[in-house]
Amino acid sequence: MSTNTTARSMGRSPFVLVVGVVLTWFIAAFLVWPNVNILIATFFPDGSFSGRAAEKLFSSQRAMKALGNSFLLAVALSITVNLVGVFIVLVTHYFRIRGSRILFLGYASTFIYGGIVLAAGYKFIYGDKGIVTTLLVKLIPGMDPGWFSGFFAVLVVMTFATTTNHMLFVANALKGIDYQTIEAARNLGASTWTILRRIVLPMLKPTLFSVTILSFLTGLGALSAPQVLGGRDFQTITPMILTFTNSPTSRDLAALLAVILGVATMLMLAVMSRLEKGGTYFSVSKVSSELQKQDITNPAANVAVHAVAYLLFAIYTLPVALIVLYSFADGAAIQTGQLSLANLTLDNYVRVLTQQSGLRPFIVSVVYSALAAVIAVGGLLFVARLLQKYKNWVASAFEYLLHIPWILPSALLALGLIVSYDHPNPLVGGAVLTGTTVILLIAFVTVKIPFTLRMLKASFASVNSSLEEAAAIMGAKTMYVFRRILLPLVLPAAAAITALNFNSLLDDYDTAIFLAHPLVQPLGLVIKANTDGAEGTEGIANTFVYTVLLMIITGVTMYLVYGRSGRRRARKQLPMESPGPQASGPVLPGTQAPGEDDAARPAAAVR
């Protein structure tokens, strides 16, 4: 770490000052002020505090049970997602597995879809009328067709649904590992398992910590999987929060529940930050080399790993295949689970795509999401860098403030923005923001800040600090170091974050419903109008069509950001290497970011 990390030293750098001023304004105007406003309106309805909410909640058996379930799920997911996530990353990027490119594509299916349709997809397969269940019941007479429900089912579905961050970020960090350390260990007689445990996993620590926080958060906020598969016994707290948010007289309960979840998330964050301080491991070699795929030497283990890898592949891909298939069926067939190939038509697509609004909501959403994703990542690049470099109380305070959007449900964030900016407000130069196209963009950027920050910080953390020091010694200025050394190293991660932000904002409803300009309505509102209310037959079919259409958009996004830019980078920046695919992993050829040519690249840049 750099030596100047005290709060006072921060004030001496003009770079820090500029970023600091902008950040302070942004946090004050869009994170603190609106949310303080809405929380005051919620908890002090008549100007005096009422403890009503806590009393009501803590005496409600259902609320306490649901809250307990959410926490249980959060803790369980933090473990299971890491297990599955690390396994699939190793299978696709570390071990030599036959067909790893195909496996990667299967595991990557979670990049492009999620939510209620994903849960429904699993239900088509393992639910009481599902394909696998029907098969199993025939094989094992007396088996309970309702086996796939409750906590177990929710955990399984959510585990497989949320390995996206592992596939993107952990894989990325893995590729940054210096192969020489692995070779050295092997020469010293270390087994495959020892190398994994003592070298590979420790190097992945910063990234694993970050994705663990995300898994925890996903578990806490679980909504659709418990609704579809939880049954009577396993319902979570989020549906209750949403109901209470919508009812003005119960909004204090929603806010209190959200704050409880928020505080838990912050505690998790604090614990993880503490663990993270325990040390990040870097390779000490000055000329590092690229990771090469490892053979699994034990034949039995090799067969077992292959078998599990392909089983997981089937689990990942079956729901997607069925969702695409069902999107051509009529709504009644989807809900009763009776699919016959003869009944598949294009009617659903014709209906959805020939609406009066046509493609416009798609364009609006693409533009809004792209802008928000780029602004969030672009702005936070500087911030994450500073937070990672300066470890003092000022930096920590900023970091925690930037996580505010994780504490409150997005509907409350939106309401906060409305009540704060429906009149000329000096914080934004006396402008009125409600009814403009800007306010939704602000909200979109805001909700993406915590995730962006966490992942960017993790990727800065895995950059070897000696590079920076070397550049500084040779006289490079702060901005120069940032631009020519750090930026190229974190760019793959930044691109992945941008793509994920973009994808997740495309069908946003919770924020857009309150903030969208009436003439520029994004896709989420149209989807809601076509899928909700009395669910009916068309509604459910439309849900599937929109899911498939979104899959196409998000799939293209991932390809553009990953497939193409990665390849281009590989050619442009690493001319000295043979761009052979054997070394760089299947679909993400050039994304081996931090470290892999640490020594070569910055040296060239400084020269």
Partner 1 sequence: MRKLQTLVAAAVAVTLLAGCGGGSTPPTSTGEATGAPAGGSGDTLVVYTNSNGEGRGDWLAGKAAEAGFKIEIVGAGGADATNKLIAEKNNPIADVAFGLNNMYFSQIKNEGALEAYQPAWAGDVDKGLADGETYWPLVKQAILLGYNSDKFTKEAAPKDWTDLWTKDEFKDRYERVTGLGTATAQLVFAGILSRYRDDSGDLGISDDGWKQVEQYFKNGSPAVAKTDLFARIASGEVDMGQMPSSIIAEREKSFKVNVDTVIPTVGVPLAVEQIALVKGTKKKEQAQKFIDWFGSAEVQGEFAQKFNSMPVNKAAQAKANPDVVGFFADLKQQDIDWGFVQKNMGAWVEKIELEYMT
Which 35-64 residues touch partner 1, going by CB under 8 A? 56-57, 59-63
Residue closer to partner 1, measured from CB, 100 or 501 = 501
SS3 per residue for 444-467: HHHHHHHHHHHHHHHHHHCCCHHH
Residue closer to partner 1, measured from CB, 308 or 419 = 419
- Tell me if 163 sits within 8 A of 85, measured CB to CB: yes
Residue closer to partner 1, measured from CB, 183 or 535 = 535
Using CA atoms, how far apart are residues 98 and 60, in angstroms rounded to an integer? Answer: 53
300 binds partner 1, rule: CB under 8 A: no
The correct pick among 186, 306, 360, 484 for binding partner 1 (CB under 8 A) is: 360
Using CA atoms, how far apart are residues 123 and 145, in angstroms rounded to an integer? Answer: 12
Instruction: Report helix angle 360-389 to 536-558, nearest 10.
Output: 50
406 to 445, contacts with partner 1 by CB under 8 A? 415, 418-419, 422-423, 432, 434-438
Residue closer to partner 1, measured from CB, 57 or 91 = 57
126 to 185, contacts with partner 1 by CB under 8 A? 129
Residue closer to partner 1, measured from CB, 156 or 376 = 376
* Contacting residues for 57 by C-beta, under 8 A, at least 6 apart: 63, 64, 253, 256, 257
Rounded to a whole number of angstroms, the minimum distance from the CB of residue 473 to partner 1 is 24
Q: H or E segment at 35?
A: helix 33-43
533 binds partner 1, rule: CB under 8 A: yes
Rounded to a whole number of angstroms, the minimum distance from the CB of residue 158 to partner 1 is 15
Using CA atoms, how far apart are residues 407 and 309, in angstroms rounded to an integer? Answer: 36
For residue 496, which phi and psi values (nearest 5 degrees)? -65, -40
Choose the stretch contacting partner 1; rule: CB under 8 A; options: 133-141, 212-220, 365-373, 467-475. Answer: 365-373
Residue closer to partner 1, measured from CB, 297 or 354 = 354
Residue closer to partner 1, measured from CB, 210 or 542 = 542
Rounded to a whole number of angstroms, the minimum distance from the CB of residue 443 to partner 1 is 13
Residue closer to partner 1, measured from CB, 30 or 94 = 30
DSSP helix, strand, coil percent of the chain (3-state; round to 5): 70, 0, 25
Residue closer to partner 1, measured from CB, 310 or 482 = 482
Using CA atoms, how far apart are residues 328 and 339, in angstroms rounded to an integer? Answer: 10
203 to 242, contacts with partner 1 by CB under 8 A? 224, 227-228, 231-232, 235, 239-240, 242
**Number of chain residues interacting with partner 1 (CB under 8 A):** 84
464 binds partner 1, rule: CB under 8 A: no
**Three-point CA angle 598, 600, 605, nearest 5°:** 100
For residue 107, which phi and psi values (nearest 5 degrees)? -65, -30
Using CA atoms, how far apart are residues 85 and 313, in angstroms rounded to an integer? Answer: 13
86 to 105, contacts with partner 1 by CB under 8 A? none
Q: In DSSP terms, which residues pair with 95 in a beta bridge?
A: 294
User: What token pair was written down for 80?
Assistant: 């299971």
Residue closer to partner 1, measured from CB, 9 or 437 = 437
Rounded to a whole number of angstroms, the minimum distance from the CB of residue 504 to partner 1 is 18
Rounded to a whole number of angstroms, the minimum distance from the CB of residue 321 to partner 1 is 19
The correct pick among 276, 469, 538, 577 for binding partner 1 (CB under 8 A) is: 538
Rounded to a whole number of angstroms, the minimum distance from the CB of residue 280 to partner 1 is 26
The correct pick among 125, 375, 395, 402 for binding partner 1 (CB under 8 A) is: 375
- Tell me if 208 sits within 8 A of 82, measured CB to CB: yes
Using CA atoms, how far apart are residues 377 and 380, in angstroms rounded to an integer? Answer: 5
Which of 341, 337, 338 is closest to 124 using CA atoms?
A: 337
The correct pick among 48, 297, 356, 578 for binding partner 1 (CB under 8 A) is: 356
Residue closer to partner 1, measured from CB, 14 or 248 = 248
Q: What is the DSSP string of 311-325?
A: HHHHHHHHHHHHHHH
Between 317 and 346, how does the x/- string for binding to partner 1 read (CB under 8 A)? -------------xxx--xxx---------
Rounded to a whole number of angstroms, the minimum distance from the CB of residue 245 to partner 1 is 8
467 to 526, contacts with partner 1 by CB under 8 A? 483, 487, 513-514, 516-521, 525-526
Rounded to a whole number of angstroms, the minimum distance from the CB of residue 156 to partner 1 is 17
Q: In DSSP terms, which residues pair with 425 in a beta bridge?
A: 431
Using the structure block, give the residue that is written with the tokens 């014709």.
Answer: 350
276 binds partner 1, rule: CB under 8 A: no
370 binds partner 1, rule: CB under 8 A: yes
Using CA atoms, how far apart are residues 502 and 248, in angstroms rounded to an integer? Answer: 31
Q: Which amino acid is at 239?
A: P
For residue 340, which phi and psi values (nearest 5 degrees)? -130, 135
Using the structure block, give the residue that is written with the tokens 């672009």.
Answer: 378
* Contacting residues for 295 by C-beta, under 8 A, at least 6 apart: 95, 96, 302
Which of 248, 32, 227 is closest to 149 using CA atoms?
A: 227
Rounded to a whole number of angstroms, the minimum distance from the CB of residue 53 to partner 1 is 10
568 binds partner 1, rule: CB under 8 A: no
249 binds partner 1, rule: CB under 8 A: yes
Rounded to a whole number of angstroms, the minimum distance from the CB of residue 510 to partner 1 is 9
Residue closer to partner 1, measured from CB, 174 or 516 = 516
